[in-house]
Structure 1
C-alpha cells in the first residue's frame, strides 16, 4: 500500500474522478481534502488481487462509494449518447481496437469533444495511448476512440 504522498505525487495532485486539483495541505477530513481510492481490478473469483490506488477528493471518493466509478462528460460539450468513459477504457485495455463514444450534431462539437477526451484520458490512463477519429454520417458526426 502506498502513502498518500506517493499516490498524490504520481497523480500530480489531481482527483482522478473529477479531474480538479487536490490540495495536499488540506485536512483528509475535509470534503475537498485528499484521499486514496483503492480500485480492485481483479475479476470475481480471480486468484490474485489486482488493485490500483488513485488520488481523489474525500467527497468524490465517498460519493462514488464501492460502485463502479463514473467520469462525467462536461456539460459544456455538445455530445449525444456519450459512452461511459471508464467502461470504454476497460474495454480498450482488454481488447484494443476502437469504440464509438459519442455523437455530435456539428463537426466542431466533435472536435471539441475529441480534444477534451484525449486530454482527460492522458491523465486518467497515462500508460495507454489513444487517438480519435470523427466520422460524418446521418446528419451528425460520430466520435470514435482508438487504443
Structure 2
C-alpha cells in the first residue's frame, strides 16, 4: 500500500483520467477504489521511464477508469459543459509540450465566452495532469471563431 499511498498523495487523491476524487480507504475491488495506472501504454511507459525520469509513469486512477482504459493509451475527456469544435487530444498535447515546449492549438469555440471557459478549464486540468508543466493560454479570433492554444512559459 506504500506505493499507492505515495502516488495518491502526489496526485492529490484525484483520478488522473476523470479528474474526480478517489477515496483512499475504499476497497480496491470497488469500481471507484484506488488503483495505480501507468501514464501511457506499457511499451512507451518503459521507454519514458528510462528517457525522462522527471515524468511520472504511475498515476492514481479509479479502478473502473483504469480497467476501462485497459492497455490502450489513455484519453482525458473534454467535459460536456464546454462548447468546443475539433478538440485536441489532451494527453498527447501535454506530452508534446513537456517534451519540446512551444504552442499547441487545443480547440475552436464559437464565442469568446466559450473560449475563455475552455482556457480556464485547460489550465486547471493540466495543473493536475502534468504538475511540472507551466502553461498559459492564448485566444485568437480567426474566421468568426476563437482558437484556444496552450503555450509553455
Tell whether the structures are fold-level matches, with TM greater than 0.5. yes
Q: Which residue in 2 is equivalent to 1:41?
A: 45
**Kept after mapping to 1: 8 A contact 2:108/2:148:** yes
Q: Report the Cα offset of residue 48 of structure 1.
A: 3.5
Q: Which one has the bigger helix percentage?
A: 2
5+ residue gaps, structure 2: none
What SS does the aligned partner of 1:30 have? coil
What SS does the aligned partner of 2:50 have? coil
> Does the alignment pair 1:60 with 2:65?
yes
Q: Report the Cα offset of residue 99 of structure 1.
A: 1.0
Seen in structure 2, the aligned counterparts of structure 1 residues 47 and 69 have a Cα distance that, compared at 3 Å, is: closer
Match 1:82 to one of 87, 90, 93: 87
Q: Which residue in 2 is equivalent to 1:127?
A: 132
5+ residue gaps, structure 1: none
> Does the alignment pair 1:99 with 2:104?
yes
Over aligned residues, Cα RMSD in angstroms?
1.9
Regions of 4+ moved over 6 Å? none
CA deviation string 1:79-114 (max 9, x = no partner): 000000000011111221101110000000000000
Q: TM-score normalised to the size of structure 2?
A: 0.88
C-alpha distance in structure 1 between counterparts of 2:129 and 2:50, whole Å: 24
Seen in structure 2, the aligned counterparts of structure 1 residues 47 and 135 have a Cα distance that, compared at 3 Å, is: closer
Count of matched residue pairs: 145
C-alpha distance in structure 1 between counterparts of 2:46 and 2:95, whole Å: 12
Q: TM-score normalised to the size of structure 1?
A: 0.92
CA deviation string 1:35-67 (max 9, x = no partner): 011235344xx8937661100000000001111
